A and B are shown apart, each in its own frame.
Chain A
Amino acid sequence: MKRYSFLELAKNAFSAHQNWGRQWRSPEPKAEYDVVIVGAGGHGLATAYYLAKQHGIRNVAVIEKGWLGGGNTGRNTTIVRSNYLWEESAALYNHAIGLWQGLSQDLNYNVMYSSRGVMMLAHTVHDVQVAQRHIHANRLAGVQNEWLTPEQAREYCPPLNISKNIRYPVMGAALQRVGGTARHDAVAWGYARGADDLGVDIIQNCAVTGIKRGQDGAVEGVETSKGFIKAKKIGVVAAGHTSTVMDMAGVRMPLESYPLQALVSEPVKPAFPCVVMSNTIHAYISQSDKGELVIGAGTDQFISYSQTGGIHITNHTIDAICELFPHFRRMRMLRNWGGIVDVTPDRSPILSKTPVPGLYVNCGWGTGGFKATPGSGHVFAHTIAKDEPHRINAPFTIDRFRTGRLIDEAAAAAVAH
């Protein structure tokens, strides 16, 4: 792999940047792999990268129906934070935060992680109590999170309207300074380039159509649109399509897939310094380095694979943003889109072995998987390589729905589901 550096940049400037090599190969699938990952989004590519890098398993293929990073990895609002309520979740997301900090150096790829702070607003007495409970729980779990008064919140984010005359006045905010944003595409591309360099085959435009199991029930390989590929182990990281893929192996999942929408405005000069979220009135906004306001809306109420959502869902979010940030009222929105998110009953992900030997699943990230990408890939690679979960993802089994040891983040996740 040609390392990117200032010297390379200067060298390529002389040839008008026409001679940068391809970042990864486009190989034809081999007949057999040690591990096949289904889904080349951020989580799948990160899994392949850490399998090769940390566990020495390099005979790996990542199979993708479309193009890499073209699903939810390229559709999310790029927020990174770890202020979840329960210790299990805080440990998982904080593990990711740890990896985010050195990710650009590790991958030799600028993922543009910017810890500009994530501020979650409280508008009611109940909000204030919940936010403070979160802050205390986070502090005990070693996760950074602090309370701001409305005045302090406005100091941190000057565009914020803290007037008492609005329908849902701001009564305070929880701020996680280490939270922020990262460039979503760069995360997929960086992991793809890194994994490819370590020998991982990334096979795009290749749909998995079946999972073959042997006499003993263990996996033997995947049927794909490019023929049968033998595999000793299979990791399914298919986000909204996880139920569909797992059905192929005869495993029914506790998942429902909903469209989640996002939208961006026309690009403007830097006007918004951090990330602001409000669970109660559902505002969710930051500004990208390109200058667009990046706005996250909610999910539709019904399951769907359409990758679009109802306009009333985005309207609802825009209403809230116009009230909290009146000077954005005349901003024009450029694009909106939907992604299909797989939601579990307890709103926590599943990173787990399955009842089928050799089959592993990483799913259920719901409306907030991007932030966990490095941590998720890291512990899922461990789970596949060792055939047992990492200490951090041990609680996130499928079996928790039978034992009752749920990790109930339904109220604790920032976005109302």
Chain B
Amino acid sequence: MLLVYCPHCDVERAETEFSCRGQAHIARPSDPSQTSDEDWVNYLYVRANTKGVYAERWRHIHGCGRFFNAVRDTVSDKFLKFYKAGESMPDLEALAKEAGK
């Protein structure tokens, strides 16, 4: 079980308090009627599924209920960074380098 830090509550809690909601920073197409089928596929279904450093969404369902993002190494499952939803994506390569990956 992972230990997850909620940047809204400023606490570290067991993973069972949280719900993981998949890859972060996937933007919904801003003009649906002009969006091609390929772009819809990319938005709806295609995921990076990275083996390595990856940004994902979490929600503190049994706490504040709010969304936040985390950067995690999907090989070791170690978290490298937590940040609030709405903040821009950190430099994943720099974080990977820092973690010695």
Contact = CB atoms under 8 A, between A and B. Distances in A.
Interface of A: 241, 243-244, 252-257, 301-306, 310-312, 345, 401-402
A256 B16 CA distance: 21
Contact of B75 (A254, A256, A305, A401): A305
Contacts of A345: 44-45
A252 B46 contact: yes
B97 to A, nearest CB: 19
Contact of B37 (A304, A305, A402): A402
Contacts of B44: 345, 401
A303 B41 contact: no
A301 B20 contact: yes
Interface stretch (B5-13, B25-33, B49-57, B83-91): B49-57
A9 to B, nearest CB: 44
Interface in B49-101: 49-51, 54, 56, 72, 74-77
A307 to B, nearest CB: 10
A244 B51 CA distance: 7
Contacts of A402: 37-38, 40-41
A75 to B, nearest CB: 17
A94 B41 CA distance: 30
A253 B16 contact: no
Contact of A310 (B1, B22, B41, B46): B1
Given A301-B20, A312-B1, A402-B40, 10 more contacts: A244-B51, A252-B46, A254-B41, A254-B45, A256-B49, A257-B49, A302-B2, A305-B51, A345-B45, A402-B41
A254 B68 CA distance: 24
A255 B49 CA distance: 7
Contacts of A243: 47-51
11 contacts: A256-B47, A256-B49, A301-B15, A301-B20, A302-B74, A302-B77, A304-B75, A310-B2, A311-B1, A312-B16, A402-B37
Contacts of B77: 302, 304, 306
A401 B2 contact: no
Contacts of B48: 243, 252
List the 8 shortest-distance A-B pairs measured between CB atoms, nearest first: A254-B45, A243-B49, A302-B20, A301-B20, A310-B1, A401-B45, A345-B45, A305-B51
B1 A253 contact: no
Contacts of A303: 22, 49, 54, 56, 74
A213 B56 CA distance: 32
A266 to B, nearest CB: 25
A305 B41 CA distance: 24
Contact of B15 (A241, A252, A310): A310
A302 B72 contact: yes
Nearest to B75: A305
B47 A254 contact: yes
Contacts of B20: 301-302
Nearest to B22: A256
A306 B75 CA distance: 5
A402 B40 CA distance: 8
A197 to B, nearest CB: 35
Contact of A241 (B1, B46, B51, B54): B51
A302 B20 CA distance: 6
Contacts of B37: 402
Contacts of B47: 243, 253-256
Nearest to A403: B37
A363 to B, nearest CB: 11
A329 to B, nearest CB: 23
A25 B51 CA distance: 32
Contact of A301 (B19, B45, B72, B75): B19
Given A304-B77, A306-B76, A312-B1, A252 B16 contact: no
A399 B51 CA distance: 24
A304 B47 CA distance: 13
Contact of A252 (B22, B42, B76): B42
Contacts of A257: 49, 51
A311 B44 CA distance: 31
Contacts of B1: 310-312
